[in-house]
Structure 1
Amino acid sequence: MPRRLLQRYIPHPETLRRQRSLRLVSGLIADPSLWVLSRRSVANAFSVGLFSAMLPMPFQMAVAAFGAWLVRGNLPLSVGLVWITNPLTMPLIFYGNYRLGAWLTNANVREAPTQLSTRWVTDRMVDILPALMVGSMVTAVGVALLGNVMIRLIWRWQVSRSWKRRARLRRRQHHEDR
């Protein structure tokens, strides 16, 4: 079952509560409903985490934590999924979002320079921002919906497989007992 796999990697709430840097959000961390690993809470966490990851903004983890609280998703999963856009993947993902937004808004596409720098981005921010925001929102909504549906389907498939396996074992046990 996916729950066992996820429980291996999710930190215990008490471990996080003891960390000094998380004192401000200890009330949020203490809420036991944000640590539940059910099909619904994991699917919602994936939606919130993937949505937050696709937005080009600071404090994505805070947005994901607040979103997990709003939709009763699993807090550590939603916050952890934000790291899909890490310093290595962020330029590629956001450039792809920009290209999608430029295509959707029929804007002129600015080609990425051979050496991407913060100066290049700040000089062209007025031109880039509208397309980047449109592309990021479309990508965020699409990825969030896809993630939610995929988690629900995978979870269902795993549960169904587990039931079938148990039924097979019971039948085998029943035949051996005869």
Structure 2
Amino acid sequence: MKIFTYLRKYLPTVKDIQQYRYLHIFGDSLKQQELWSFNRQSTAKGVAIGLFCAFLPMPFEMVPAIFLAALMRGNLPFAVAGIWISNPLTWIPLYTPCYLLGAMIIGVEPVALHQITIFQLGWHYVALWLGCLIVGIVISVSVHFIISAAWRSQVRQRWKRRKQIRLTRGKTDTPAK
């Protein structure tokens, strides 16, 4: 995969990571090779972790994404990049369906944003979190399986192509009688 060789040039190495003092709060967990490798499992886990954390309605989603990537040994750059779908421009389209799902599950009547009072905020915040957790889990698990399946399909196609090349070479190399 050419894109991964391109990305490796610009991503920091484990030695580069050790030089940053402010990353010592994560301990030795950032030194794991799986966090920086581009294979099927770590890449799929990294993207899934990033998307899950993007659906968390909280500031600083990168901190749980880094901890989850280190804990589950997912690709850290993809985990951090997956969070970027959640930003102030995408909050309304991202969190509104989650809020409506959570409100439907706990039985709270959804209200418009300008109508929420301080007394109602508690249950609506619970509805938002519940909906975000459910949608985040469903999307991240789905994306994990889609990436794994696409990766396996690409590997199978490469093997078939190599096999065809070997077969055609074998037919041309055999001497004629």
TM over 0.5: yes
Is 1:141–2:137 an aligned residue pair?
yes
Distance across 2 between alignment mates of 1:31 and 1:144: 22
Preserved contact between residue 64 and residue 79 of structure 1 (Cα < 8 Å): yes
Deviation at 1:25, TM superposition (A): 4.7
Query: Which is higher, the Rg of structure 1 or of structure 2?
Result: 2
Alignment match, 2:7: 9
Partner of 2:161: 165
Specify the SS of the correspondent of 2:52: helix
Gaps of 5+ in 2: none
Structure 1 alignment gaps of length 5 or more: 114-119
Aligned partners of 1:107, 1:80: CA distance in 2, in Å?
A: 34
Of 11-20 and 47-56, more deviation after overlay is shown by 11-20
Name whichever of 65-74 and 14-23 sits farther off. 14-23
Q: Which moved more, 1:61-70 or 1:99-108?
A: 99-108
1:49 lines up with 2:45 in the alignment:
no
Distance 1:168 1:60 in 2: 47
Cα distance in 1 between the residues matched to 2:122 and 2:36:
41
Aligned residue for 1:171, secondary structure, equals helix
Tell me, in whole angstroms, the C-alpha distance in 2 between the residues paired with 1:153 and 1:15: 33
Quick one: which amino acid aligns to residue 12 of structure 1? Answer: P
Deviation at 1:148, TM superposition (A): 1.1
What is the correspondence of 1:51-90 to structure 2 with a 5 Å cutoff?
A: 51-90=52-91
Q: Which moved more, 1:46-55 or 1:30-39?
A: 30-39
| 1:40 Cα deviation from its structure 2 partner | 1.3
Check conservation: 1:17, 1:26, Cα contact below 8 A.
no
Task: Determine the structure 1 residue equivalent to 2:97.
Answer: 96
- For structure 1, which segment, 29-38 or 152-161, has the greater mean C-alpha deviation from structure 2 after superposition? 29-38
| Identity value in percent | 31
Q: CA deviation at 1:31?
A: 2.7
Q: Which amino acid aligns with 2:47?
A: F
Match of 2:122 in 1: 126
Once the two structures are superposed, residues 38-83 of structure 1 have per-residue CA deviations (whole angstroms, 9 ceiling, x without a partner) of 2111121122111111111122111011101111111111111111
**Equivalent position of 2:34 in the other structure:** 33
1:117 maps to none
Structure 1 residues 68 and 121: alpha-carbon distance in aligned structure 2, compared to 1, 3 A threshold = farther
